[in-house]
Amino acid sequence: MPEPLAAALADLRTLLTDSDRLVRAVAAGRRRGVTPEVPRVELRPVRIGAGPRLQIVEQDAARPRTRNVAWGADAEAAVAELLARPYGNWHVTGTDATVQLRVTKRGEAQVHRSAGAGTPADTEHDRAKSYLLPPDDELYGVIGGNAAKRRQVDAFLRALDATLPAQLPEPLRVVDLGCGNAYLSFAAYRYLTDRRGAHVQLTGVDIRADQRDRNTALADRLGWADRVSFVAGTIAAAPVDGADVVLALHACDTATDDALARAVRWQAPYVLAAPCCHHELSGQLRDRTDPLLRSAILRERFADVLTDAMRAELLRALGWSVEVVEFVDSAHTPRNVLLRGTRGGVDTAAARTGYQTLSDTWRVSPALGRQLADLLS
């Protein structure tokens, strides 16, 4: 290992193992010619019943794995093992400094230092949830949105942050399909540029021309009009060339399918969709004699689950590793399921079989499957 890189990693180790200074750290990306087994790892100090710990969350294609290790020898050993992995990027925030390490293609260390968080992390494991973009952020004074909507948007941003790698494409093309009043569009742009330092080009799509005009005026008021734009049109046909990140927050019924189909056609590396109401499969199941489907309320709830299960399996069949998670507490909205997809790292053959099994077993033909039938043949 080149001496400058070894020195940079040693500097990171000092910060990562200091329980009084560490606030949060993220490692992701790969080095030239070698890929870490786990794509992304996050570290932060927490306090649980057993006392203060270093929490390590490893996020692979299957599901996040969390472990809490005691400070001292255990934390030092865990950090040493993580630093030995071939991550291409480290972003470590401390109370007194923020250190970003990027390993170049030549194996050289590029280190950037900036101001730290200023105060220690809130380490209470069961603490009130912190926000990436607080509900009282000044941005909302311009764009509006009630408290429930602001909490949903912040929860969506948290999922977005956990999905994206430390090193982002330049520029990062983000498309919000079915953006409505564009709370998510503006918040995502604010977060990605201010907190992640990304060069973002964001486009919001909504079928209503008056929404386009309102949102365009807000982008101009915020001074973002050259980087945040809006178009009026359907999700399926709006004139947008492609995206690195596709967002869809509560697009109604099959509009979510339109958004997912557009993301697939674009081969978007990252897809985050929180579906809204589900009606299509409930209608297809209406005349069945199965006891599970006899009651209307149970049929509708089952149709919700089946719809999202088939969406996830279809995305996997076409090359996306997909997690289905709860992105916000159900107290804030009953529509709290999130499909979070990253292109690659999935057994497509097994997923095709799984999708077909669901379709054959329940004798249903979901909208997303019909839209992407040519890619499945």
Two tokens at 59?
Answer: 């996020």
The type of residue at 107 is: G
Tell me which H or E stretch contains 204: strand 200-206
Percent pLDDT > 70 in the chain is 92
* pLDDT above 90 (res 352): yes
Closest by CA position to 4, among listed 112, 103, 108: 108
Identify which of 5-19, 136-150, 212-226, 334-348 has the greatest average pLDDT.
Answer: 212-226
- Determine the Cα angle at 327 with ends 194 and 301, to 5°: 150
Residues 154-172, mean pLDDT to the nearest whole number: 88
Residues 13-22, mean pLDDT to the nearest whole number: 92
Helix 73-84 with 3-16: angle, nearest 10 deg: 140
Two tokens at 173?
Answer: 């093309």
Specify the long-range contacts of residues 351-358, CB closer than 8 Å, at least 24 apart. 351/313, 351/314, 351/316, 351/317, 352/317, 352/376, 354/313, 354/316, 354/317, 355/310, 355/313, 355/314, 355/316, 355/317, 358/306, 358/309, 358/310, 358/313
Q: How far apart are CA 72 and CA 94, in angstroms?
A: 18
What is the SS3 assignment for 67?
Answer: strand
Q: What is the pLDDT of residue 46?
A: 87
Percent pLDDT > 90 in the chain is 54
Closest by CA position to 282, among listed 261, 265, 262, 297: 297
Compute CA distances 90 → 12, 33, 143, 202, whole Å.
9, 18, 33, 26
Q: What is the pLDDT of residue 328?
A: 65
* pLDDT above 60 (res 330): no
Tell me which H or E stretch contains 248: strand 245-249
Q: How far apart are CA 60 and CA 2, in angstroms?
A: 28
Cβ atoms of 230 and 215 within 8 Å: the answer is: yes
Please enumerate in sequence order all residues whose Cβ is within 8 A of that of 313, keeping only pairs 6 or more positions apart, or say none.
351, 354, 355, 358
pLDDT (tens digit per residue) in 24-62: 898 888 888 888 888 888 899 988 877 899 999 887 655
Cβ atoms of 68 and 55 within 8 Å: the answer is: yes
> Cβ atoms within 10 A of the Cβ of 20, count?
10
Place of tokens 């480290």: 90
pLDDT (tens digit per residue) in 192-237: 998 888 999 999 999 999 999 999 999 999 999 999 999 999 999 9
Compute CA distances 301 → 51, 232, 272, 282, 349, whole Å.
41, 32, 22, 9, 29
Cβ atoms of 246 and 353 within 8 Å: the answer is: no
Report CA Rg, the chain.
22
Q: How far apart are CA 356 and CA 236, in angstroms?
A: 24
Residues 126-136, mean pLDDT to the nearest whole number: 66
Two tokens at 286?
Answer: 């209406």
CA of residue 73 relative to chain centroid, distance: 33
* pLDDT above 90 (res 279): no
Please enumerate in sequence order all residues whose Cβ is within 8 A of that of 136, keeping only pairs 6 or more positions apart, or say none.
none
Average pLDDT, the chain: 88
Give the CA count within 13 Å in the CB-facing half-sphere of 295: 5
> Cβ atoms within 10 A of the Cβ of 106, count?
7
When comparing pLDDT for 56 and 336, which is higher? 56
pTM for this entry: 0.66
* pLDDT above 50 (res 126): no
Domains and CATH numbers, the chain: 2-115 (no CATH), 138-375 (3.40.50.150)
